[in-house]
Amino acid sequence: MYVGTLSFDLLLGDVRSLKEKRSVVRPIVAELHRKFAVSVAEVGDQDLHRRAEIGVAMVSGDTGHLSEVLDRCERLIAARPEVELLSVRRRLHGDDD
């Protein structure tokens, strides 16, 4: 069994309130969950209206499949015009960790 995680640090575009932030972050979280069947949530910077941290996690029996899905998640975030991807942290954990 392998567990893969991604943590995205995002700078949001023209956002002036936490309500506007939710209207940007929620669709991203929902799309990641729907398209890739991963666990995903906003995990940090909840009190800042122009920054967001989104966490993604997935469990798989195959590291190749796990890496492929995480790569696709990263590409989806990078392609979103309303956010700037500042950094990505990736971790893979196996049975021997």
42-53 pLDDT tens trace: 998 788 889 999
Once rounded to an integer, what is the mean pLDDT over residues 66-85?
A: 94
pLDDT, residue 96, reads 75
Q: Which amino acid is at 45?
A: D
- Count Cα neighbours of 64 within 13 Å in the Cβ-side half-sphere: 0
Q: Are 54 and 10 in contact (CB under 8 A)?
A: yes
CA distance 41 to 58: 12
Once rounded to an integer, what is the mean pLDDT over residues 50-71?
A: 94
**pTM for this model (two decimals):** 0.88
pLDDT, residue 41, reads 96
